[in-house]
Amino acid sequence: MARAFNRVYGLNIPIEEEVEIAYISERNMNSMCGKMDHIVAYSNTLSLMEFEPDKTIITSLSTTCDIYMVWIDLKYEKDTKRILSDLNKCYPFPDDKISTDVQEALGENSLIIVDSALHLIREGDNKRLGELMTSAYNLFCKKVLPASSALHSPRLDRVLKDATVISNIFGGKGVGSLGDGSAQTIAKDKDSQKKLCDYLNSMPDAYAAYPITIRR
């Protein structure tokens, strides 16, 4: 909406301000969101988003090998406001094991995962990137999921443990704050990407799958 008004009225607002307007607007609607979703405002290229106390840094990334992803709409629901509210209770200071685990998972553990992902993307190592996604998902389930009952995601678990799905991917995880919203996977190759989409789309009441290929 911020971009639509910017373009229609010729306001010449830079992307960074569009993002800030969108962020403030969402917060004003009582969604205790962060800024990660706003990465889509920058471009359709692979990018790294880093947060400093007073600014957000966006850096373009490149890979040496095509990455065949499949994004899966789980066609269910998730209570994002409830999830974010529950997670925010773990900050600023942990007062029990659950809040300590949440801060570790979303803090130091997340930094290690992101650093590893950057290396694997640049090296074009899709197999290990997929395995890293699965490891990140398992870590989330272990350390973050206990903080909110709204994070339980039986449909997400089911699709990631499906034998046909597993045979066509290197790994996968939930998206964003998880819950039964959507999933992302790294397919083994172009053929596997198509097979996975065809398989999931054969169950239109349960899933919708979309291929996303990141070109080298």
**What is the DSSP track for 10-43?**
T----HHHHHHHHHHHHHHTT----SGGGGGGT-
Helix crossing, 97-106 with 126-143: angle to 10°? 160
Q: Does pLDDT of 212 surpass 90?
A: yes
Q: Compute φ and ψ for 152, nearest 5 degrees.
A: -60, 130
Total domains in the fold of the chain: 2
Residues 118 and 197 in one domain: yes
Residues 81 and 53 in one domain: no
Residues 81 and 165 in one domain: yes
User: Domain containing 82: what range?
Assistant: 67-214
Q: Specify the higher pLDDT residue, 98 or 177.
A: 98
Q: Once rounded to an integer, what is the mean pLDDT over residues 120-143?
A: 96
Residues 79 and 35 in one domain: no
Residues 55 and 101 in one domain: no
Q: Does pLDDT of 115 surpass 80?
A: yes
Residues 86 and 156 in one domain: yes
pLDDT of residue 57: 83
Share of the chain above pLDDT 90, in %: 66
Q: Does pLDDT of 146 surpass 80?
A: yes
Predicted confidence band at 59 (pLDDT cuts at 50, 70, 90)?
A: confident
What is the rounded CA–CA span in Å between residue 116 and residue 133? Answer: 10
CATH number of the domain where residue 159 is located: 3.30.70.890
pLDDT of residue 58: 82
pLDDT of residue 126: 96
Q: How many CB atoms lie within 10 A of CB 132?
A: 21
How far, CA to CA in Å, does 61 sit from each of 47, 87, 109, 198? 5, 30, 22, 30
Q: Once rounded to an integer, what is the mean pLDDT over residues 51-64?
A: 84
Are 171 and 130 contacting, i.e. CB atoms less than 8 angstroms apart? Answer: yes
Cis ω for the linkage preceding 94 (within 30 of 0): no
Last residue of a domain, one of 17, 38, 60: 60
Predicted confidence band at 68 (pLDDT cuts at 50, 70, 90)?
A: very high
Residues 50 and 76 in one domain: no
Predicted confidence band at 161 (pLDDT cuts at 50, 70, 90)?
A: very high
Q: Which amino acid does the sequence have at 9?
A: Y
pLDDT of residue 103: 98
Residues 8 and 100 in one domain: no
Residues 104 and 153 in one domain: yes
Tens digits of residue pLDDT in 21-45: 888 888 898 876 777 777 777 777 7
Predicted confidence band at 97 (pLDDT cuts at 50, 70, 90)?
A: very high
Last residue of a domain, one of 60, 81, 105: 60
Last residue of a domain, one of 40, 60, 80: 60
What is the rounded CA–CA span in Å between residue 206 and residue 95? Answer: 39
Tens digits of residue pLDDT in 171-183: 999 987 777 889 9
Q: Does pLDDT of 113 surpass 90?
A: yes
How far, CA to CA in Å, does 118 sit from each of 3, 25, 69, 162? 29, 31, 16, 28
Residues 51 and 152 in one domain: no
Residues 157 and 89 in one domain: yes
Q: How many CB atoms lie within 10 A of CB 75?
A: 15
Residues 111 and 192 in one domain: yes
Q: What is the pTM of this model?
A: 0.84
